[in-house]
Structure 1
């Protein structure tokens, strides 16, 4: 994963007013599917993993603000990857199912 992930992280930081530390992004990638990734990728992770990361960062950085994190993450994935909204489910894999490069 490369430019798509960077673009998506940037979009999420802007949408939620958070900073996503590089180490947290690295942890997300390391904890993803490294045993059986899709062709051309060394890892893959689910939308739910990304939502959980953003939820934890919003809770840490803006505990007084309630936001529908899944809806916001879904909108940014749709815009970034040019996929259909109904395809962005918690179970969807970012590379395998949604075509992240």
Structure 2
């Protein structure tokens, strides 16, 4: 797990008032694109997969949260990875497209 991934996890925990079990974070990495990862990475994750994990955990741990989860996660990605808003789409890869380390 890289520092940017950990930063995104911590930001999501704080923003949504949830706990992300480390096994869930590792599972997301292990289920990512391991067959064709970008150079210097052993896996890659789509933004949609990261958002899906957060949506699941919010529904389980903080069901009264009623704001748009993707837009909130998108803001965290923009701030964490210093990318343009237009770059953060559900189909974007966190490492390959957005430069996560």
Q: TM-score, normalised by structure 2?
A: 0.97
Equivalent residue of 2:55, what SS? Answer: helix
Q: 2:35 corresponds to which residue?
A: 35
Shift of 1:67: 2.3
Tell me whether 1:48 sits opposite 2:44 in the alignment: no
Summarize the alignment of residues 12-91 of structure 1 with structure 2, pairs less than 5 Å apart: 12-91=12-91
RMSD over aligned CA atoms reads 0.8
Equivalent residue of 1:49, what SS? Answer: helix
Determine the C-alpha separation between the residues in 2 that align with 1:81 and 1:65. Answer: 25
The aligned length equals: 101
Could you tell me which runs of 5 or more consecutive residues in structure 1 were left unpaired when the two chains were aligned.
none
Determine the C-alpha separation between the residues in 2 that align with 1:79 and 1:96. Answer: 17
Equivalent residue of 1:48, what SS? Answer: helix
Tell me whether 1:9 sits opposite 2:25 in the alignment: no
Q: TM-score, normalised by structure 1?
A: 0.97
Q: Name segments (4+ residues, structure 1) moved above 3 Å.
A: none
Determine the C-alpha separation between the residues in 2 that align with 1:43 and 1:37. Answer: 5
